[in-house]
Amino acid sequence: MAQEKQLKVPQHVAIIMDGNGRWAKKRFLPRNAGHTQGSRRVEEICREAWQIGIKYLTLYAFSTENWSRPEEEVRALLKILRNYLKESIKKATENNMRVRVIGDRSRLDADIRESIERLEEVSAANTGLNFQIALNYGSRDEMMRAVRRLLSDYDKGAITQEQLTEKVFSGYLDTCDIPDPDLLIRTSGEERLSNFLLWQCAYTEFYFPEVLWPDFDKNELKKAVE
């Protein structure tokens, strides 16, 4: 009898959580209902990712472009985010997750920044899933911030032109101590990166399922990995 093919599990999976608004519209609900349901899906996917052997999971939660959405929707997204960050301290401890936030924190309100710092501090020693939340994140913005830090170091004499390599530049990015994604998933069938991990995804495999994010469950994750 032929042996069952062993599942090759990627070390790092990144997900663009797309389709919350369309999920709500199909059910004649306000867009905010889709965002709320989408946030509930995160814990299940984190838990399942670790169970099948994924070590790093990065989710695109709020982009630098999201600020241009209607003010009411932005407020609702930030409210969901505030609640999620507070709950995550308990969840990270229960699930042994190390949680980090990538992106530009300077535009976020002080209470959100404090919650991020607290969450990262509390979960820093956890040894389970490495969970990255991309918050006020845009890949072009990330690279611009990296270049500014690089130029500052150059002006100080801390680095020379000859020392600059791809590996050195990667060290200035938000993901400096995280391996590049092996697999990127974007739900809802859209086939674009939307300014997400552009440098890091140079050799990443892409998967674009039609399912909307609030319906993306553990079976869909396994299907993506397979």
Quote the DSSP letter at residue 168.
Answer: H
Contact (CB, 8 A) for 114 and 39: no
- Supply 81's token pair: 């985010």
What is the rounded CA–CA span in Å between residue 37 and residue 183?
Answer: 24
Told to judge if 174 belongs to the known catalytic residues of this protein, a careful annotator would answer no
Q: Which of 66, 104, 126, 195 is catalytic?
A: 66
H or E stretch at 14? strand 12-16
H or E stretch at 12? strand 12-16
What is the rounded CA–CA span in Å between residue 92 and residue 150?
Answer: 33
User: If you write DSSP's letter for every residue of 91-144 in order, what string do you get?
Assistant: HHHHHT-EEEEES--TTS-HHHHHHHHHHHHHHTT--S-EEEEEEEE-HHHHHH
Tell me whether residue 22 is exposed, middle or buried, using C-beta atoms within 10 angstroms of its C-beta: 0 to 12, 13 to 18, 19 or more: middle
Told to judge if 18 belongs to the known catalytic residues of this protein, a careful annotator would answer yes
Q: Which of 18, 95, 130, 136 is catalytic?
A: 18
Helix axes 71-95, 110-123, angle to 10 degrees: 20
Contact (CB, 8 A) for 128 and 97: yes
* Active centre residues (catalytic): 18, 66
